[in-house]
A and B are shown apart, each in its own frame.
Chain A
C-alpha cells in the first residue's frame, strides 16, 4: 500500500521558533510537494522537489524553505514561525514516470498552530 507519512499530526509552536515538518514516502517517487490548506483557499503549493537536493518554489514560498537530502524524505522548514503560518500542512508525492497524470498521493497532514 502506498504511504506518505508526516512526522506530527498536531504541532504547537511559539512565534519566532524554527519549525521542521517532516514527510516520508515509501513509493520511491521522484516528486514531492508541500501544500498548505486554509479554509476557503483550498490547497496552495509552497515548494516542490523533483529530485534529491533539487527544489522549486511554488505559489507561496515566502517564509518557508525545504530540504531534500534523501529521495524518500522532504522537509519543510519555517525559519521563524509567525502566527500567519498557522495552518494545515499537507505533503504529497508522485512518480516522474506517471507525471502526466499527476497522481499525487497525500499524507495525513500536520495541523500547525503558532502562538
Chain B
C-alpha cells in the first residue's frame, strides 16, 4: 500500500536557522513521483518540487534543497537560513505512475507545520 509519513508534526525555529523536514514513503511501484507542497496561512497549496523515482540527484533552489534517497525511501526537504515567510504547513506527497481508477492518485502525508520566529 502507498503511504507517506511526515513524522514531525510541528517544528519551531528561530530565523536564520537551517531546518530539515522529513518525508518517508512506501510504494510497491518502481516508477513514481514525489512532491512537496507549501501551504501558507492563506490556505492555497503551492507546488514546490516534483521528483521522479529514476532521478536521485539532489535539487537546490535558492535556500531550498531536497535530498532523495531511494535506499531509505526518503525525500527530505531542507530550508537554509530560514525566514519568517517560510512559516507554513509543508506537505510531502506520492504519486504512482500507473493509473488507478482513471487518474494518478496523489497520496499526501499529514503535513509538518513550520514556525519561524524572528
Contact = CB atoms under 8 A, between A and B. Distances in A.
Contact of B33 (A50, A101, A105): A101
B45 A48 contact: no
Interface residues of A, number: 27
A108 B95 contact: no
Contacts of A99: 103-104
Interface of A: 9, 31, 40-45, 48, 50, 56, 88, 90, 92, 94, 99-109, 111
Contacts of B103: 31, 48, 50, 56, 94, 99
A42 B6 CA distance: 10
A94 B106 CA distance: 12
A67 to B, nearest CB: 18
A107 B102 contact: no
A58 B9 CA distance: 25
Give 9 nearest A-B pairs by CB, closest first.
A109-B43, A42-B108, A106-B45, A102-B95, A43-B108, A108-B44, A42-B110, A102-B104, A108-B43
A108 B42 contact: yes
A101 B43 contact: no
Nearest to A88: B43
Contact of B97 (A48, A90, A100, A109): A100
B22 to A, nearest CB: 14
